Amino acid sequence: MIKKINEKEFDILARTFPNVTFYQTTNWAKLKEITEWKPLYLGYYKDEYVYGLGLFLLKKMPSLNAYLAYSPRGFLTNFFDYEELEKLNTELIAYLKEQKVFELIIDPYLPLNQRDIDGNIINKSFDNTSVVNNLISLGYKHTGYNLYYENLQPRWLFRLPLKNKTYEEIENNFKKEAKRRANKKDLLGINIRELNEDEIETFKDLMDKTSKRKGFIDRPLSYYKQMYDSLHEDGILRYMVAEIDINTCRKNLNEEINIIKERIEKLAIHEDKNEGRIKEENVTINSYEKILNQLEICEKEKGNIVPLSVVCLLTYGKEAIMLLAGNEEDYLQNFNSSNIIVSELIKLALKEGYDYYNFYGITGNFDPNSEQYGLYAYKKQYGGEVLELIGQFEYTINKPFKKLYDSLLKIYKLTK
């Protein structure tokens, strides 16, 4: 039996399902209400047992006097039990039809297979195409095994397994350069902290710079504030920042340079034997002096405490998710802040007991020559695995309305 449930009951029950994400919370629903998505919380009960649960976001199409429904990351149930899935779906579609829904879209948070860090399938016995086939046989249209961002949510993700691991074990899988940069936190005077509500503009500023550099359209400041209002109080969202204390950085580097110079003096006693080591030490001094020069420029432009990298961190269910990230590119190369903030947030996720640190969306094209390979390459430097989901599905409830909607959408896109 399908029945409507209240917000409190939904949040309590949703946490009992293994694949729950922040998308399946009343907090996310409240955020989407701002953009005129009406939330509907439904439970499928078998006797007194809740067999299925779903958040359905309904958007009214004024020209149709009907609703498009989207269940973000799919409704929560056992997709492998076809008999019960069929009963659930029959009742669900009937209920949504009564609500004047003409189409339902779902994208279950369920892996299609198991892949390694390079995107190769590593366990051929793990194959969830049966779920895809189950949904198709129930009348859903699968939008395909797409490689890019054609769906409402990314189908390809990159994540770092944390369960039963220490940070040292995880760090051993970092690429050498990522590990070296991450370990310069104290030397460079980089501090990682959560931004307060009145500092959200700092987050937006670095997102703006990143969007201009990488060519994507960023959300307005108002949206980031609305995200904070909807998700922060219940501990789901944190805007994190890596900022440099220039005075501390300058002091540390000068002290290190003096220590290195003392080492060089001792090595110079037997210069013929230590020529290579002396050369290496001088290279380090030159790199530190270059950073000191950057500090002078940065201090004149930005002041003593300078935000360098930001991350929108979402924590819910089994995951800590790095949903968004922005950087001050002018100083990023010398101050390593993007590597430092990631390593510190991995430590935070471990401390708080999450099973995964999710770097979120990538594409399924692993060709080094592909346009978006850099995003994947950045994320894989920390170790981890590619996660391919089963994809997006559409169920047409009212065919005439669906046909009209598609025509109107095509016209809208042409005018845009």
- Rounded to two decimals, the pTM is 0.94
Q: In degrees, to the nearest 5, what angle opens at C-alpha 220 toward C-alphas 219 and 221?
A: 120
Q: Is 61 exposed, middle or buried (0-12, 13-18, 19+ CB in 10 A)?
A: middle
> 3-class SS at 80?
coil
The pair phi, psi for residue 138, each rounded to 5°, is -85, -5
Whole-angstrom distance, CA of residue 165 vs CA of residue 178: 19
Burial 252-264 (b: 16+ CB within 10 A, else e): bbeeeeeebeeeb
Domain boundaries, the chain: 2-112+124-147+389-415, 158-388
The pLDDT value recorded for residue 412 is: 67
Using DSSP's 3-state secondary structure scheme, residue 374 falls into: helix
pLDDT at 332: 65
Q: What is the DSSP string of 14-31?
A: HTTSTT--GGGSHHHHHH
CA-based diameter of the chain, in Å? 89
Provide the residue type at 52 as one letter.
G
SS3 236: coil
The CATH T-level fold of domain 158-388 is Aminopeptidase (3.40.630)
Nearest C-alpha neighbor of 191 from the set 239, 243, 238: 243
Distance, in Å, from the CA atom of 362 to the CA atom of 151, rounded to the nearest integer, reads: 13
- Tens of pLDDT, residue by residue, the chain (416 residues): 999 999 999 999 999 999 999 999 999 999 999 999 999 999 999 888 899 999 999 999 988 899 999 999 999 999 999 999 999 999 999 999 999 999 999 999 999 999 999 999 999 899 999 999 999 999 999 999 999 999 999 999 999 999 999 999 999 999 999 999 999 999 999 999 999 999 999 999 999 999 998 888 999 999 999 999 999 999 999 999 999 999 999 999 999 999 999 999 999 988 888 999 999 999 999 999 999 999 999 999 999 999 999 999 999 999 999 999 999 988 767 899 999 999 999 999 999 999 999 999 999 999 999 999 999 999 999 999 999 999 999 999 999 999 999 888 887 677 75
Q: Check: CATH 3.40.50.2300 for 2-112+124-147+389-415?
A: no
Residue 253 has phi, psi (to 5 degrees) of -70, -40
The answer to whether residues 397 and 103 touch, using CB atoms and an 8 Å cutoff, is yes
**Topology agreement, domain 2-112+124-147+389-415 and domain 158-388:** yes
Residue type, 30: K
DSSP string of 317-368, one letter each residue: TTEEEEEEEEE-HHHHHHH-HHHHHHHHHHHHHHHTT-SEEEEEE--S---T
Q: Which residues contact 331 (CB under 8 A, 6 or more apart)?
A: 244, 294, 298, 306, 308, 337
Task: Look at residue 170 in the predicted model and tell me its pLDDT.
Answer: 98
Could you tell me the CA-to-CA distances from 43 to 17, 87, 367 in Å, in that order? 13, 13, 43
